[in-house]
């Protein structure tokens, strides 16, 4: 896939063995994190989780503009995560496997959030509590 061009800067799809943000060597995990960290990448995967979508349907579902969507789809296709066929865009088997790997991370993030919220409530309670004898 050719690199997208932005003036004097060029943006290439992050793939293993190429330098990516945070890694001069392009270690596979760093390339994946760079790809998934790009604007709308995870949203596109999420919207494609259950059905094929045309470009317009995906644009509407992801609530993004056509330029960002086109760029991201090109990167996800180059990475072998998304494919395009006559009925629209879909996850490849590799993309589907990626979503299954990300789901436990989603559960962890929800538990993390809950723990942070409980910790905040506990600190508030302690801060507003009457001082104990000897304090």
Written in H, E and C, the secondary structure of 65-122 is CHHHHHHHHHHHHHCCCEEEECCEEEECHHHHHHHHHHHHHHHHHHHHHHHHHHHHHH
pLDDT digits (tens, 9 = 90+) for 24-43: 888 888 889 999 999 999 99
What CATH number did the domain enclosing 85 receive?
Answer: 1.10.10.10
Whether 107 maps to a domain, the answer reads no
Whether 51 maps to a domain, the answer reads yes
Check residue 18 and give its pLDDT: 82
- 10-residue averages of pLDDT along the chain (135 residues): 42 78 83 93 96 97 96 96 96 97 93 90 59 53
Check residue 98 and give its pLDDT: 97
Domain hosting 12: range is 4-92
Number of domains in the chain: 1
Whether 133 maps to a domain, the answer reads no
Whether 23 maps to a domain, the answer reads yes
CB atoms within 10 A of CB 32: 18
Whether 22 maps to a domain, the answer reads yes
Token reading at 61:
């579902």
Check residue 2 and give its pLDDT: 45
Whether 52 maps to a domain, the answer reads yes
Whether 109 maps to a domain, the answer reads no
């Amino acid at each position: 896939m050719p690199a997208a061009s932005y003036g004097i800067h060029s943006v290439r799809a992050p793939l293993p063995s190429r330098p990516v943000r945070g890694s001069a060597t392009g270690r596979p995990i760093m390339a994946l994190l760079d790809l998934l960290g790009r604007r709308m990448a995870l949203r596109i995967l999420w919207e494609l989780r259950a059905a094929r979508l045309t470009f317009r349907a995906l644009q509407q579902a992801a609530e993004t503009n056509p330029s960002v969507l086109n760029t991201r789809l090109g990167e996800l296709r180059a990475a072998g995560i998304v494919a395009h066929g006559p009925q629209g865009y879909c996850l490849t088997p590799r993309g589907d496997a990626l979503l299954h790997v990300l789901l436990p991370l989603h559960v962890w993030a929800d538990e993390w959030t809950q723990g942070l919220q409980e910790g905040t409530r506990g600190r508030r309670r302690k801060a507003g509590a009457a001082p104990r004898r000897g304090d």
